[in-house]
Amino acid sequence: MERYKIIREIGDGTCGNVFMAYNVETNEIVAVKKMKRKFFQWEECVSLREVKALQKLIHPNIVKLKEVTMENHELFFIFEHMECNLYDVIRERQVAFSEGDIRNFMVQILQGLAYMHKNGYFHRDLKPENLLVTNGIVKIADFGLAREVSSSPPYTDYVSTRWYRAPEVLLQSSAYTPAIDMWAVGAILAELFTLSPLFPGESETDQLYKICTVLGTPDCTVWQEGMNLPRSSSFKYFQIPPRNLWELIPNASLEAIDLIQRLCSWDPRRRPTAEQALQHPFFNVCNWVPRPVHDAPDTKTNESKAHPKLELNLWDFSTEPDDCFLDLTLSLKPSFPGTDLANHVPQRTEEEILLYSGFENTPAGFWPLVPSDRPIGDVPAMPSWQQAYMVDSQSSLPGFSGSPFGLSLQPSLLENHSLAPIRQVNFF
Ligand SMILES: Nc1ncnc2c1ncn2[C@@H]1O[C@H](COP(=O)(O)OP(=O)(O)OP(=O)(O)O)[C@@H](O)[C@H]1O
- List pLDDT tens digits, range 381-419: 333 333 333 333 333 334 334 455 654 333 333 333 333
Is the pLDDT assigned to residue 336 strictly greater than 90? no
Residue 92 lies in a domain: yes
Residue 91 lies in a domain: yes
Distance, CA of 305 to CA of 162 (rounded, Å) = 56
CATH number of the domain bearing residue 26:
3.30.200.20
pLDDT in the model for residue 367: 31
Domain boundary among 58, 80, 102: 80
Residue 348 lies in a domain: no
CATH number of the domain bearing residue 118:
1.10.510.10
Could you tell me the distance, in angstroms and rounded to a whole number, from the CA of residue 11 to the centre of ligand 1? 6
Residue 318 lies in a domain: no
pLDDT in the model for residue 14: 80
The complex scores an ipTM of 0.95
pLDDT in the model for residue 425: 29
Strand 29-35, strand 74-80: pairing: antiparallel
Which is nearest to 49 in space by CA: 122, 152, 131? Answer: 122
Domain boundary among 267, 283, 299: 283
Query: Rounded mean pLDDT of 2-10?
Result: 93
Residue 177 lies in a domain: yes
Residue 386 lies in a domain: no
Strand 16-23, strand 4-12: pairing: antiparallel
Q: Please give the positions annotated as active site.
A: 125
In this structure, the answer to whether residues 129 and 246 fall within a common structural domain is: yes
pLDDT in the model for residue 15: 82
In this structure, the answer to whether residues 53 and 197 fall within a common structural domain is: no
pLDDT tens-digit readout, 135-168 = 999 999 988 766 655 565 555 555 557 999 999 9
In this structure, the answer to whether residues 120 and 62 fall within a common structural domain is: no
Query: Rounded mean pLDDT of 309-338?
Result: 33
pLDDT in the model for residue 373: 41
In this structure, the answer to whether residues 168 and 25 fall within a common structural domain is: no
In this structure, the answer to whether residues 26 and 130 fall within a common structural domain is: no
User: For residues 274 and 402, which has the higher predicted lDDT (pLDDT)?
Assistant: 274
For a pocket test of ligand 1, which of 6, 130, 165, 188 has the largest count of ligand atoms closer than 8 A to its C-beta?
Answer: 130
Range of the domain at 40: 4-80
Instruction: Classify residue 225 as exposed, middle or buried by CB count within 10 Å of its CB (0-12, 13-18, 19+).
Output: middle
In this structure, the answer to whether residues 91 and 221 fall within a common structural domain is: yes
- Residues with CB under 6 Å of ligand 1 are 10-11, 13-16, 18, 31, 33, 63, 79-82, 85, 129-130, 132, 141-142, 144
Domain boundary among 262, 283, 304: 283
Is the pLDDT assigned to residue 245 strictly greater than 90? yes
In this structure, the answer to whether residues 103 and 52 fall within a common structural domain is: no
pLDDT in the model for residue 428: 23
Could you tell me the distance, in angstroms and rounded to a whole number, from the CA of residue 96 to the centre of ligand 1? 25
Residue 290 lies in a domain: no
Could you tell me the distance, in angstroms and rounded to a whole number, from the CA of residue 246 to the centre of ligand 1? 33
In this structure, the answer to whether residues 40 and 123 fall within a common structural domain is: no
Q: CB–CB of 127/87 below 8 Å?
A: yes
Residue 226 lies in a domain: yes
In this structure, the answer to whether residues 75 and 174 fall within a common structural domain is: no
In this structure, the answer to whether residues 48 and 134 fall within a common structural domain is: no
Distance, CA of 182 to CA of 139 (rounded, Å) = 16
Lowest mean pLDDT among 184-198, 214-228, 403-417: 403-417
In this structure, the answer to whether residues 136 and 50 fall within a common structural domain is: no
Number of domains, the chain: 2
Which is nearest to 274 in space by CA: 59, 97, 96? Answer: 59
In this structure, the answer to whether residues 262 and 211 fall within a common structural domain is: yes
For a pocket test of ligand 1, which of 9, 10, 92 has the largest count of ligand atoms closer than 8 A to its C-beta?
Answer: 10
Q: Phi and psi at residue 289, in whole multiples of 5°?
A: -100, 110
